[in-house]
Amino acid sequence: MKISRKVIAFLMVPALLLAFTDGTALAALDQPVKLTFATQSVGSAMYMYASAIVNVWIPALPAGSQIDVTTTSPGGVGAPVILEKGACDIVLGNSAPAKWAYERGILGSKPTKSVRSMAGGLGKDFVNVMFTKEFVDRTGISTVEEVVAKKHPVRIAIKANGSFGELACNKVLEVLGVDYDTIRSWGGSVTQTGSAAIVSLLKDGKADMTIDHVGAGQSATTELCLTTDMFFPELSAETRAKMNDQGFDNITIPANTWNGQTKEIQSVGSPQVVLVSASVPDDVVYVLTKALCEGKDKLVEANATLASFDPATAHDILKTGAPLHPGAEKYYREKNYMK
């Protein structure tokens, strides 16, 4: 849902001269910069990330610069599309959808060839697979790979089309060589609905499993695990490698992330990434990338969930999805993060 509320940040600081250790230089950034930064609704995780990021950007731009933070982003899946359409200069997205959007288009769009990345790895959202314990006890099946190998008529409850949770489930099944129709052909079912209904279906024994893309503490999953005995399978190393090929990064889900989950789980995920239009000048993107990476302490002070952000790996393609903007690449090479 789009909300018209905006937060405007006016910046009053000295201009910067951009010089590099390799002997090259960009033009001095000595004129005010005006940018539009799209994020999601006030109070959302993306909005909180954006607020923290703007606070480290403010001191890094010339006097009179303006960053207009809007709540017009459709979320991580659609973020590259609005950037491609020119609705903003910068947007927060997720790495895997950014890869799919750039390479072949997403949500019916053409490939988003003007989308570039600035920095990835902002957060640790992950693919979360859960069976009900009743299902595991009844069938003896304890992994998604076993479900597929045995062609078991499993009942899956997932989010609606277009959500990242549904896309993550779709990709897990795809790399295992099946789809929703395959599962239905075995006598199983795939119910696509909202988070609250998914919880109810699993609690009431009307679904056996779910796959989502979430962060630790997500309210619906927390509620489910507090009220229903759940089982937490781990994707095999082979499946995770195939998910890497689809743009997902390796993620460790710490023990006790969910009630009843006593062991850490190796999974994959698509971290948040700062995406930027290729039309934003190199010198501007360099300054913003530098401020973001060297302002990590301030980021974490504003939002503790950003503690996982690692400037040294923020350029990695599994964390960015889309190609790096030249201004960002300049910074990472200057710091010897890239060779």
Dump pLDDT digits (tens) for 249-268: 999 999 999 999 999 999 99
Pick from 169, 74, 90, 166: nearest CA to 122: 90
3 state SS of 252: strand
Q: 334 pLDDT exceeds 80?
A: yes
Q: Is the pLDDT of residue 5 over 90?
A: no
Residue 28 — pLDDT band, cuts 50, 70, 90? low
pLDDT recorded at residue 27: 52
Residues 201-232 have pLDDT tens digits of: 999 999 999 999 999 989 999 999 999 999 99
Comparison of pLDDT for 264 and 10, the residue scoring more: 264
326-334 helix and 282-294 helix, angle to the nearest 10 degrees: 50
- Cβ-contact 82, 325 below 8 angstroms: no
Give the model's pLDDT for residue 107: 86
The pLDDT, as a whole number, for residue 30 is 82
Can you give the pLDDT at residue 44? 86
Cα–Cα distance measured from residue 77 to residue 125, given in angstroms and rounded to the nearest whole number: 14
pLDDT band at 18 (very low <50, low <70, confident <90, very high): very low
Task: Kindly indicate the confidence band of residue 1, based on its pLDDT and cuts at 50, 70 and 90.
Answer: very low
Cα distance between residue 238 and residue 243, in whole Å: 9
Give kind and range of the element (H or E) at residue 276: strand 272-277
d(CA 209, CA 131): 4
Structure pTM? Answer: 0.87
pLDDT for residue 8 is more than 60? no
pLDDT tens, residue by residue, 74-120: 988 999 999 999 999 999 999 999 999 999 999 899 999 999 999 99
The whole-angstrom separation of Cα 238 and Cα 278 is: 35
248/228 Cα distance (integer angstroms):
29
Between 20 and 40, the more confident residue is 40
User: Six-digit token pair at 204?
Assistant: 């009431």
